Every structure is written in C-alpha cells, then in structure tokens.
Structure 1
C-alpha cells in the first residue's frame, strides 16, 4: 500500500491536471528546457485583468476610494483661484476665461485621460509609473536587469494581448527599443523620475492642503500670523502620519464620510453662489472665452496657467492608488460624485468673483455664507488631512514597486488588509515623509510658495505618464495611429503648455520639487546600478550544473542530515558563493535546494504558480533548484509557512516527474537527452518516488530546515574611475546599511540561519 503522503500528492497532481484539461490557468506544467541557461522569449498572449468583484464589494471600494484617492484634487478649490490670479483680476471676463480653462482641463485631463484612458493601462489591476514601465518591460526586452526566464511568460498574469492588426508600427517600435541601449536607459530614467516625482507629491500634497485649510482661520481672526498658521499645520501633519499605520482599509472608511460631506458641501455652496451672485457665469462653458483671455493678457495669461493647473493636482492619485481599489470603483466614484461636485464648486466661485473680484486671494472662505463658515472650516481642515492620504498611499505603492524591481533598498512593507490586495503601509517611508513635510512647511510657511513647488512636481508626473502611455498605445494596445496623434495633440499639448508655465515659476518654489526628485532619482539609480553590477558578476562567474555534480560526488564532501535552502540572487546558474562556501565548509546537507527569490515585472503571481522547481542530475544527489516568483505587489510573508509551502511544492514536483516522463535506471542518457530533461529526472516507478518522499520526510525530522543566505560586498576593481568608486563604494555601500535583510523579510529563525559572504570585484 502506498504511503499516505504519496497518495495525497498524487491526488493534488491529478486535480491540477484536470484543471488544465478544462482550460484553467491555475497550474502550469514544467517545460523541458535547461533552467540554468535560458533566455526570455517574446510575450504575446491574451490579456489578463484582475478578477471582477461582486456589486456589494464594488460599491464598498467606490466608497472607500472617496476617502483615499480624491482628497488632493477635491481640496484644490481651497487655493486654486488665488494661484490663477496672483496679481488680482484685471478684467471681469478674465474670470470667464480662467473658469473655462478649469472646466475643460478637468474634462480633458482628469476625466478623459485619467478616468477613462490611463486607468485602462493598469498592470493586472495596479497602477503608477512603475506599473507602466513593468508592462512595457514584459512586452519588449527593455529591462536593464538580466534575469528573464522563458517560463515567466507562462504565468497567467504575465501574458499580454497579441492582436494581429497594426503590427508593423508596434513591431518597429519594439525592435527599436530592444536594440537601443540608450532607449532602455531613457525608459528606466523616466520610470525612476516619475516615481521620484510621485514621492515628491507625497511630501508637498499634505503641506499645501493643510496650510491652505488652516489659513482659513484668518477669515475669522485676521490678526493671526503666518507663524501661527504654520505651527498649527505642523501639528496636524504629525497627527496625519501617525494614523497611517492603521492601513488604507480603516483610514478609507474613516475618511470617506468626511470627503463625501466635503464634496456635497462644496457642491451646495457652489449652487448657492451661482444662483445668488451671477448666473451668467455659465457662459464659461463656451471655450471662446479662453481665446479672448489669451488675446487680452498674453504673457500674463500664459503665466497664470501654472495656477490653473492646480485644479488638476491629485489626478495622478487615481492611477497611483489603483492597486488599493480597482478600475470600476474609481470610475464610479469619479463620475457620480467627484467630477460634478468640483465643476459646480468652481462655477460657484467664479460667480462670486464676478461680484467681488477683490476677494480673489481668499476666494474659497470669502464665498462661504457666514452661517456655514465654521462648519465649513472644520470640514475643510479634516478634508485637507484626508487629501494628503491619496499621495501618501500612492507613495507607498510606488516605493514597493521600485523596491521589488531592484531600484530601491529593501524596507519593511506591511500589508494592512487581508481582504483587499495592494493596501500597504511602509513605516520607514512614512517617517521620512513626515519629517520632510514638517521641514517643508517650516521653510515655505504659506500656501502660495508651496503651490509653485507642488504644481511642478505634479505636471512632471502627468507628462511622464503620457509618454509611457503613448508607448503602451502603440506597442501593446495597437491603437490606430490617428487616435494616438489625437491624444498627443490634445492631452499632450495641454500638459506641455502647463509644464512651460510652471517652469517659469522655478525660482519661486518650483526648484524644490526638482531638487527633491533629484535626491530620490540618485538613490534609485545608485541602488539599481550596484544591483546590476552584482548580477553581472554572478552571471560571469556562475557555477555550472556539472561543477555542482562534481562537488556533490566528491568523497571528501560530507553529507549532513537535513534540508538546506541555499538562497542566492542568481536566476541563471548557481552563484559563485556556493564554491566559496564549499571551499571553507566541505559539507552538504542530504537535500540541497538552491532558492532564488525573483520579482517578475507584474503586480501579482498566483500562489499555485509561484514555485518553479528543477533538478540537478544524477537523481540520487537530491539537489534541486527552486525559483520563487513574486509580483511587485505580492506580500513576501505568505498566509502559511514559507518552508511548508516549499516542501509541499517539492513533493508535488517529485510526483509530476514520474507522471510526465519515464526512463529506465539501467540506461545511461546521452548528453543531448540529459540537457533536454535536466530540469526533472524521472524515476521508472512509483516506488522510487515513494522512497524519495520518505527520504525527504526523514531528513526533515532528523535535521530540519537550514537556511544558508549568500551575501556579497561589491567593490571596484583596480583602475576604476573616480565616478564609479563614488557610486559603488560609497553610494551603494551606504544605502545597503539601511536595507532590511532577506532573513528579516522572511522571518527566518536565527538559530537555523547561516550567512555566507563573498567579495565581488566589478
């Protein structure tokens, strides 16, 4: 009678085989290629999207998104018109021109671009600059990190559309990007610059919103100084960052009622102002007033675009925070509440200014009816705190993506919701943002200077997103070139116009966002450069499967009881640290698994497709290779024990071997046959598999699981340039001091941990 563990494994494998026969993608067969030397192939299959949720969950997510996504753009009426008219209103019809600009900017960029186009460019339900970059890297070989595998394209969430129309332009662009090293470098730079700008938004958004809201106290008590406003804002900011630890789920439910009330309030006050002051302001729906506005004011009108743009700040949060929700939930909340409320609010403010143009520096609070002032002030302050949530959450998501793709040092990531994937909290980044916000608030003190710095950071994100989006349209969506040109000539031209205006205010605060982004771009570039140099060294000095066999068969090498997991970063081949280890410790455990943790350029990898096993011959060596594949938004701490899952998948792999291919033990394989099936040598009967599973269980009982972590120190070779030494030996080494170690991420018990170090000279 068969052992129970073997019987259970057979049942699991049969169930997975049945699923495959019925067209499901929950399980992928191991392909018969050598996993130590393969290259990535073209990825052209069908599109996969995040699974649809039920209507109740969809409405819950839509409600939550109000409290997380829209606070930034929703609180723009607090300060926007003051930025559009920094020198006051010179002509009554200028109000109509600016109001028309606001309306059509919201329609073109917020509604058309972000709500209906950019959200569709999600990466299996996740958004942000790195999500777009990952999407492009999956379709074209433009990634700078040398770790692609042929098996990656079999992951269900990895696959892309292969429509057969308009392929010529898509193929031409794809070939150009793949064959140009400069193009790859530019794409990577755009990705890290866009991410850095989003992080800059995460600093400037809280400052601008909170200071603008608290400044409303001057309407009730004009004697308050900027210093008092500043310190009250600092206290509120500190409180805001302290509640981030509770997670998006709880924060969203707490903040959503506040933002809902806010949008209803500004809509009601907007309708009131429209009726009471000047209903003829509705003429602003005619875009001809924009033309007249520029004819009348010329350069001043162009400069004012920087202030008009503030009505759009926060639109990028719709995409950056997408991983916390889903596309349909954000589209529902945008179209049903957010967009109509903002349009009505701005029309109401324009109607008020037609009668009281001198109040433009404090339009929002001046237009609020006196009986509603204090309730509105309280809601405004609470909303300003909420508004910060959108870019803080977006910053967490972008840092996680950058970190997973080798562009940021490892920091702690806390998944705050078991129900909704993608909702995370990053403690170190939260602390950094809080300190930066306090420092910025103490430096700038008032909202006008903050808005200049703030707008420049946001518009850079807009234009970089559009650049990536055009590539996605051409290469992946195969969009008609006329539609692509239409997008460039409308959305792209409008964003470049805003960018030119905001650059004019560079010396008035705009420099800060670029300086802040420059710091983060430097961090990401230095880290990625050091990471790639480490990968290149390992590829050049990798240990072959034949060398591992020779070591294992050497009679001088002792075999110890237990299962050893030897962790390395190398995907292709065996890390040179292994031979370094053997030369100092001439012993191997009875079962050895080389484990590589690999992040794919996708948001999530299904759990059943996470482990990719292969075997090193001969069969009785019990030496395996396991690539553990994660998406950049996957939690590294599984709901079950990592080692239990790995052992279970190893047993399944043993069973799959015998059910897939059989070969007699008596016949010696040719070199060609050995290379062909070297990822899984199969026994000729189930008794041998039974013995292997029993041997595995015995080793686990006798020796348990031992963790061997390969660590390296990268140094520059003799004769290296000064710039290379600065990047590697100072920048990269300094950043490594702050990263979390893999054993901390995977909660490895210290009593079963051994670290093996080696110096890499690059």
Structure 2
C-alpha cells in the first residue's frame, strides 16, 4: 500500500509539471533574446542588470504574488478570473448575470461572529458594492476583460513557444531561413491542437516526465555555464544592478521591461489550471523544482553572455554545450508544445466557467476524464485558437514582435487578477488594511510599469492580439447584456396567477394523461411561454412541472441538494416548479431517463414531506405556495472545508432526510403547505396516496419536454446602438451557439417547441 501511495505521489508530481508549469518553464527560450533586442549589450554591467531584473521579477510575481498569495484565493479548488468573481458574488450581491435571485445570503455577516474593525470595513464595502449599479457593472467588465486576455493568451502562447523552440535550428543548421522556421512552426501547431482532444490525464502522464527532463536540462546547462564562464553573475542578486542598468540605458532599459516580463509568462496559467491539483502540490513543486531550475537556467545564460555579447539573438541555444545541442533542441520543442497546451487547457476551463455564469455563448464541451470532471475539451474553441495562432505566426513571424503581443495579453489578465484578489482580501479574508494596500500598491504598480513598456510597442504587432482581446470582450459583454435583457423581459411578461386560477384546474383546455416538463429560466412565477402552449396546443398534460436549470455561483452542488420543489397553483391544478441547481464546475452527466427518474423520486419526497407538515399549519384549502413575496432568509450550504455557499432560492423546499428537528422546522417555514382544516390522519393518508398514485399514472403515460424558443428584438423606438447589438450581434450569437435541445440532452421524439419573440 505504501508503494502505491508513493507511486501516485510521483505521478501527481509529474502531471503537475506537465500541466501547470509548462508555460513558465519554457520562458528561458526567449526572455533574454527579446530583452536585448530592445536594449543591446554594451558591457557586462548590462548583462548583470538584465539578469537582476529577471531574478527579482521571478521572485516577486510567480513566487510571492501567485504561489504564496493568489493561489489561496481559489474557489474551492477552482482558479481564474471567473472563479474569483464567483467567490465575490457569494459574499455580496454584485452579480448582474440573469436568473440570480435577490435573496442570496449575505455571507460576510455569517463568516465572522466576533465584531472587529475588519468586519465593519468588510460590511461597508459589501453594502457599497450591492447598492451601486456602476460598481457592479465595473466589476463585471473587469472580469470580462481579464477573461478575454486569458483567451488571447491561448492564441499567443502556442505561437511564441513553438516559434522560439523551432528558431533554435538557426544555431544548429547554417543557412536556414526564417520562412522555413515559420513553416515548421505551423506544422507543430497543427499537431499540437490535433492531440488536444485526448485529454489532460492521458497526455499528462507523457508530458510530466518530459517537463521533468526539461527542467533538469535547464539546471544542468546553467550549472555548466556558471562553472565554465563566470560565477560573478551571482552578484545579480544585489538589486543595485537594476539601478545601474537603468542609469546606463535610460529609455532602452524601460523598453526592455516588455522582454523581462516574458520570464513570468504562465504565472496566470498556474492559477487558472488549479482545478487539476491542490494548492499545496502546486506550491511545493514550484518552490522546490521549478524555481531553482529557472534561476539556474537564467544564471547560466547570463554567465555565457558575459563573454559572448554578440550571441543575444539566440541566447539560450547559443549557451547550450555543442555536445548536448541536438538533444536539448528536441526536448525544448516538446516542452514548447507542452507549454502551449498548458495555456489552451486554462482557456477551456475559463470558457466553461464563463458559460455557466452566463457570460459566454453555449458551446459543446467534451469531458475527457471520467474521474476528474474539470478536464474538458471544447472542439470549436480548439480550432478557433489554432486558426488565430497560425495567423499570428504567419503574419508577424518574429519572436520579438510576438513577444510584445504576449506581454499585453499576460499583463492584462495579471492586473485584473490583482484587482480582484485585492477585493477578496477586503471583502472575504478581512485582513489588515495595511497588508491589503501593500499588496495592491506593490503588484499593481509593478504591472502598470511593465504595461507602459509593452504599450509603447503596440504598433510592432501587439495590436493584433489587442484587437483579438477586444473582440472576445465584446462577444462576452453582448451575450451577457442580451441574456440579461431576455430574462428581465420574461420576468415582466410572466402570466398572472389570478388569470391561471380563473381558468380552473383544466386550464381552459383538455388535460391529457402524462407529465409535461416545461423548461424555462424563471425561478418563480409562471413563464409567458406557458400561455403560448395553452393557446397553441389542443391539450396539455395532466401534470405540469416548470423546470428551471439554474447555475449558482458555487463550484459544485451536491446531488442531494440538486432539486428544489414547490407548488405553483392550488393542489387540484397539479402544477409544480422544479429548480435544478448546478455549480459552474458541475457536469450534467445524467441522460433524460435518469433525469426523469430523479425528478419523479424527488417530487414524491416533496409531497410526502408536505403531508407530514399539514398537521403543523392550517392555512386554508388549496393555498398557493408560489408566492411572489420574498422571504428574509435563504438556504445556505456549508461545505466540509467550512466555506459558506448561498444557495439563495426562496420558498423552495429542499429534499433531505429530516433527521433533525431544526431541519424540519426550517422546511416547515419554507413551504406553505396546502391542507384542509384539521384533517384526520386517515384523510391525510388517503389524500397522499391519491396524489402519489396520480403521479405514477402520469409517469406511465409518458413524459414530454415542452421547450420555449424565445427570441428578443429591440423595439422600433430603441436607440440605434441597442438595435444593432440586439437585432444583429446578439441574434447572430444565439443563432450560432449550441442549441438548448442539445445542451439539455432532450430526445427529439419527446419534444414540443413553441417560439416566442420578446420586444425589449
């Protein structure tokens, strides 16, 4: 058993190297080359200054900021900008996304029980965020901007890594031209994105040992060059050499900051790919394996350049000993492909999170592992990233210009992460304000300094990736804006409860045996599309269930907490509401038969629970439980690690075994049962069995899915920009995204669709 445990630990360590650290591990291929293209070496002091910049950038950004601080801001193991946004949304009502209920728990007041200055400050910030629409919009725009930069990173990382590795051929093969390097890079990129579908765990077993060999090669070459050329480069640990570097080179040194930034590319991928591994495993691997090897690699390159000032064009490959050149070239190309794959994987995770939270059009998501639900592959996005990576390589074809684009994408997401983590510190961690200000000032100031350098070179090719990020941002914002308008319109146009009561139990039509599952986004009220079904269809089912698939800002919702039920109308109408809740990390694995079975079992439990509570309240016959009033409380889920999740769905009964009287009491408060006045026990049992028998017969008659296809159009009196956004851009995205039928796994033979257009 001990051997198995140790073996699994080694396997996990190898996979961590291959999946999380591929990007930052290949940065020595191009960092010095890009730096010295902007500030040429005029003496050994320039080499020491550039090396000192790289060393302290490595220590400050990936080590202190990400490994020691940002990784702890994860959302129950999920990283990335949307995970941070989800974390903030659970602690404050700042979400502008559709289908969010107003009774989300105010978690900050629950987390700390002892009054403190930090708690008071947190509550003030929380109140300001919740009451300011401008701040809510600004927060969402920051998140969308950071996410668009992550996706842009997924384009530029493969281009930069592969071009740098293949460029080593210029050192080993005389006379090779840049066009030939570009063609080889194109072939490698096609291979890279073609194997993406095989999943992280399958490929991770192979790439982990490969990256381990790569890091060992970096360390070995570094030690060799240190001993052979100049050990005095160790003086670069004295930061005074940074001052000398800027004093000697002035503006050129400032330009070179864009190249220096490349040594920390992949830091954000460490956070975004956190869903695959624990925080501790990532921290230990970086501190004891990755960082020492990187430091030795850069020290070795600098030692070589101290005596070879003219070899800065290919600083890494020129410093490789001649006898080891070809093996190192081979392993570097494999490592570059792995690094590219690291960022692509992070991009997939980010898109899945944003889709679940309503900020990205629905796409087909393939889960590549049965054991780990976070390992995904998005076919459309995979080929989309490949196409733009090829465009970038063929259009620019210079690692110096691609490096500028790389810097813009990397810095954009880094700055967004700094701002969001600062907010997490203030709102959730509630730590001392001096520590918060120190974190924000140091890292945001450092990143703004780097950003000013790369922006100066935006005309050298960076504009392509900047334009790409803007397009992605607009797609996400338009999708969120259109979805929000659609939901708000559905809420305004929902059917009146009084009108439904006037129609009577038959709903003004024929009630045919069977169950009708009407999918809609409303968590309360009667959707307007139901009125269209009543007027369009010759008959409706004897039992109607409004099914709302709702994504809540938590990573995972336990299966026992999945379904929430309530009655929509008086008992004789046989109309219920079901809210099926999923976290943004959840995988909807059940097919329609399994879903139907779970649904029926849950509704039977609901009816039994309701019958048990009839003796506790007397509210008159055929009361209506789907009240529009908001209760002052909401359900809260406490995870095993102590995290408090708001499941904020008012007036909904949640099914659990009532093992505790407190649980029974809370349930009796949530559901307003329907009962006759003081029924006898036998009458209650007969009523219960009668309703359960009715449900079973309806199930035997068959289940039909009623799907309303709702579109929105801007009114004629709307302003021009709104018409353009809604009628053309949003309509185009809806037309080309994954359809609701495929997304819900609804069989066509059991499906009825009705279209409806909302004017907004």
> Unaligned stretches of 5+ in structure 2?
630-668
More off after superposition, 458-467 vs 564-573: 564-573
The counterpart of 1:367, out of the listed 319, 322, 331, is: 319
2:709 to 701, 708, 711: 711
Relative to structure 1, the CA distance from residue 760 to residue 694 in structure 2 (aligned partners, 3 Å threshold; closer, same or farther) is same
1:324: how far off? 2.4
- The structure 2 residue matched to 1:71, chosen from 22, 26, 31, is 22
After TM superposition, the structure 1 = structure 2 runs for residues 249-268 of structure 1, keeping only pairs within 5 Å, are 249-268=201-220
How far does residue 431 in structure 1 lie from its aligned partner after superposition?
A: 1.1
What's 1:172 paired with? 124
1: distance between equivalents of 2:559 and 2:105? 16
Does structure 1 residue 609 correspond to structure 2 residue 561?
Answer: yes
Are 2:513 and 1:561 aligned? yes
Asked whether the equivalents of residues 130 and 402 of structure 1 are also in contact (C-alpha less than 8 Å), the reply is yes
Task: Work out the CA distance in 2 between the residues paired with 1:598 and 1:673.
Answer: 17
Q: Which among 443, 453, 461 is matched to residue 501 of structure 1?
A: 453
2:366 is the alignment partner of 1:411: no
1:20 alignment partner in structure 2: none
> Shift of the alpha carbon at 1:326?
2.5
1:658 to 611, 618, 623: 611
The answer to whether the aligner puts 1:81 opposite 2:24 as a matched pair is no
Question: TM-score under structure 1 normalisation?
Answer: 0.89
Give SS of 2:704's match: strand
Deviation of 1:162 (Å)? 6.5
Given candidates 742, 745, 755, the residue that maps to 2:743 is 745
- State how far apart, in whole Å, the 1-side matches of 2:217 and 2:504 are: 74
Structure 1 CA distance for aligned equivalents of residues 710 and 622 of structure 2: 37
How far off is 1:301 after superposition? 1.3
| Superposed displacement of residue 265, structure 1 | 0.7
**2:429 aligns to what SS in structure 1?**
coil
Change beyond 3 A, Cα 1:285–1:682: farther
The SS at the match of 1:745 is helix
Q: Which residue of 1 aligns with 2:52?
A: 100
Task: Say which SS state the counterpart of residue 612 (structure 1) adopts.
Answer: strand
Contact (CA 8 Å) 1:617, 1:681: kept in 2 or not? no
Q: Is the 8 A contact 1:616 1:679 kept in 2?
A: no
Report the counterpart of residue 754 of structure 1 in structure 2. 752
Which 10-residue stretch deviates more, 204-213 or 442-451? 442-451
Q: Check the 8 A contact 1:596/1:627 in 2, yes or no.
A: yes
Kept in 1, the 8 Å contact 2:624–2:672? The answer is no
- Judged with a 3 Å threshold, the aligned counterparts in structure 2 of structure 1 residues 219 and 672 are, in CA distance, closer, same or farther, namely closer
How far is the alpha carbon of 1:689 from its aligned partner?
2.5
Task: Give the match's secondary structure for 1:123.
Answer: coil
Shift, 1:584, TM fit: 1.9
> CA 1:757–1:295 in structure 2 vs 1: closer, same or farther (change >3 Å)?
same
Aligned residue runs from structure 1 range 277-316, under 5 A:
277-316=229-268
Q: Do the aligned partners of 2:366 and 2:378 also contact (CA within 8 Å) in 1?
A: yes
Closer/same/farther in 2, CA of residues 297 and 609 from structure 1, 3 Å limit: same
After superposing the two structures, state which structure 1 stretch, 203-212 or 645-654, moved more. Answer: 645-654
Contact 2:712 2:759 in 1 (8 A): yes
Change (3 A) 1:83 1:616: same
Q: Does the aligned pair in 1 maintain the 2:98–2:358 contact within 8 Å?
A: no
> Could you give the per-residue CA deviations for residues 261-292 of structure 1, whole angstroms, max 9, x where no partner exists?
10111111111111111011111111111122
Corresponding residue of 1:224: 176
Cα distance change of structure 1 residues 224 and 672 upon mapping to structure 2, 3 Å threshold? closer
Decide whether aligned partners of structure 1 residues 159 and 507 sit closer, same or farther in structure 2, where only a CA change above 3 A counts: farther
Q: TM-score, normalised by structure 2?
A: 0.89
Q: Residue 27 of structure 1 aligns with which residue?
A: none
Gap change, CA 1:146 and 1:387, over 3 Å in 2: closer
Assess, with a 3 A threshold, how the Cα gap between structure 1 residues 271 and 450 changes in structure 2: closer, same or farther. same
**Within 1, Cα distance between the matches of 2:411 and 2:693?**
62
Aligned counterparts of 1:454 and 1:544: Cα–Cα separation in 2: 54
**1:333 to partner: Cα distance:** 1.8
2:585 is aligned to 633
Q: Distance in 1 between matches of 2:373 and 2:315?
A: 41
1:119-150 deviation digits (Å, cap 9, x = unpaired)? 11111110111111111122111111353337
Seen in structure 2, the aligned counterparts of structure 1 residues 510 and 609 have a Cα distance that, compared at 3 Å, is same
Kept in 2: contact 1:82–1:360 (CA 8 A): yes
**Equivalent residue number for residue 571 of structure 1:** 523
